[in-house]
A = this chain, B = another copy of it.
């Protein structure tokens, strides 16, 4: 889940934000002055910062610059000041968004989501994209399989089958599920295909293809990939 750093010197605003954010399963840290904010940002590495400009100890723009010196974390500025100059200054200092008080909680949360979303890396897939065994390595993101340092060439069907199995490492995948995921929803009984392609995967990846260690047959049920 995402971590948010809330920075505001008005306790009631902090409380309202914290309650709303926690209800939506964000992890929340809070600070009421700039120095604390910078320290927390450095130690806690939030995914987004909500920053009030009117802080007691330092100018809000200085906080933005302090953050931008070392991180690109999204900064959502919150301010009572509505003048155009203030907004321009904050945005050009490195803020990502600027919301004037009083603000609607729904809107603020939506802007927060937008900020978090666009900060996500391109590969939106969750989880480790590389799976290693002692014999070979599968890189889901690059769609690449390596064995003894050399690339292994897989056909689209072989790759797709491998992908489904690896994404379910350790779990049994039924024949029907494999067929439908790889060949399409109208397939489900053509277990021939599985035997043929399993043999090819084993030939390309198993040290001893006739005694497979990683691509295990569960007779009558399906197949299982073991790391």
Contacts and interface: CB of A to CB of B under 8 A. Distances in A.
A94 B117 CA distance: 9
A96 B118 contact: yes
A97 interface: yes
Contact of A95 (B84, B109, B114): B114
A10 interface: no
Interface in A196-227: 218-221, 224
Size class of the contact patch on chain A: 35 or more
A122 B155 contact: no
Main secondary structure of the interface of A (DSSP, over half): mixed
A143 B221 contact: yes
A122 B171 CA distance: 13
A144 interface: yes
Contacts of A221: 143, 156, 159
Contacts of A159: 221
Given A104-B84, A110-B91, A172 B155 contact: no
A88 B72 contact: no
B113 A92 contact: yes
When A and B form their complex, which 8 residue pairs have the shortest distance between CB atoms, in order from nearest?
Answer: A143-B172, A156-B220, A91-B110, A88-B110, A142-B171, A84-B104, A91-B114, A84-B106
